Amino acid sequence: MKRYNTVLVIAGLDPSGGAGLLADTKVCTLTGSYAMGVATSLTVQNTAGVWRAESIDSTLLGEQIEKAIEDIRPDAVKIGMVQSGGQVRVISDIIRRYELKNVVCDPVLVSTSGHSLIDDLDEGIALRKELLFPLCELVTPNLPESRLLGIKEGAREYNVLVKGGHIENSEISDDILIYKDGEREQFSGRRIKTRNTHGTGCVLSSAIASGLAKGMILNEAITAAKEFLSERLKHGSDYDAGHGHGGMYLI
Ligand code: PLP
């Protein structure tokens, strides 16, 4: 029998479909992986902003993840918004007990519109660094997140991709991969002129997880994911996709 390449997505639910769990599962489908998904949070948001975020009970979250992965083992895991400290603990514990591999964590802290997506920022950052990141193959902060997380040069237990999409007034959007041993690799990109940028971080990280699930090595998966993101940003630039920053072309 054949087997799907499987990705487990653990992320917040953005009903507008441009970011979070819905966007992540669309990306997995479009890049050839079978997506499973568990919501960490139900948000009230659209392309113009975030009004509210209600975290899912961490025990319920854990039960859902365990039942899904006991049945279908994920080849990769994409972690996005994780709202509460209890959720970080439960997810980290499951990754360790089930020895899940190819874990990609997008450290979603604050939405582009400025709404905090974490209950307690200091606790959320500390728990991620202590419990979750050391279990990851890759952590994908943008520049403001890498500052908040205190990501520095040098060796650590996990690889970090610092995304350049937030470099102001720049034509380029290069990402830097800092390997565990401190080695660096640059991934060049050009900034794409579009208003529809909602969920770019979600799309990149889930495309990387999907590549890893299909057996790509890390730098191949990043290259393919950057190409996928650029293409979807370009295609989406012609569309009226909401009143704010719309989602990209995930069709
Ligand atoms: N909502 C959810 C559930 C998310 O996961 C994210 C980002 O990862 C956002 C909102 C914010 O998306 P953006 O900053 O692209 O608006």
Distance (Å, whole) CA 124 – CA 92? 13
CA neighbor of 85 nearest in space, from 51, 58, 117: 58
Instruction: Please identify, by atom number, the ligand 1 atom nearest to the C-alpha of residue 14.
Output: 3
Q: In what order do the strands lie in the sheet with 175-178?
A: 49-55, 34-46, 6-13, 76-79, 103-105, 138-139, 159-162, 175-178, 184-187
Distance (Å, whole) CA 171 – CA 189? 9
Asked whether 16 and 242 are in contact (CB, 8 A), the reply is: yes
Whether the model pTM is above 0.85: yes
Mean pLDDT of 226-251: 96
First CA to last CA across the chain, in angstroms?
Answer: 29
Mean pLDDT over the full length of the chain: 96
Angle, nearest 10°, between helix axes 218-236 and 200-213? 140
**How many angstroms from the chain centroid is the CA of residue 128?**
14
Mean pLDDT of 154-159: 92
Instruction: Please identify, by atom number, the ligand 1 atom nearest to the C-alpha of residue 201.
Output: 8
Q: Find the 40 Cα to ligand 1 centroid distance in Å.
A: 13
Domains of the chain: 6-235 (3.40.1190.20)
Distance (Å, whole) CA 89 – CA 127? 8
Give the number of other CB atoms < 10 A from CB of residue 48: 14
Q: Find the 244 Cα to ligand 1 centroid distance in Å.
A: 13
Per-state percent for the chain, helix, strand, coil, to nearest 5? 35, 25, 40
Q: Find the 38 Cα to ligand 1 centroid distance in Å.
A: 16
Given a cut of 80, is residue 186 above it in pLDDT?
A: yes
Task: Kindly give, in sequence order, each residue whose CB lies less than 8 Å from that of residue 37, ignoring residues fewer than 6 positions away.
Answer: 8, 9, 10, 11, 21, 24, 25
246 lines ligand 1 (CB under 6 A): no
pLDDT band at 165 (very low <50, low <70, confident <90, very high): confident
The residue whose CB lies within 8 Å of the most ligand 1 atoms, and thus the one to mutate among 54, 111, 140, 245, is 111
Q: What does the pLDDT look like over 43-90, one tens digit per residue?
A: 999 999 999 999 999 999 999 999 999 999 999 999 999 999 999 999
Q: What does the pLDDT look like over 209-219, one tens digit per residue?
A: 999 999 999 99
Distance (Å, whole) CA 99 – CA 31? 24
Given a cut of 90, is residue 153 above it in pLDDT?
A: no
pLDDT band at 168 (very low <50, low <70, confident <90, very high): low
79 lines ligand 1 (CB under 6 A): no
Residue length of the chain = 251
Distance (Å, whole) CA 189 – CA 130? 32
Distance (Å, whole) CA 133 – CA 40? 17
User: Is 163 an annotated catalytic residue?
Assistant: yes
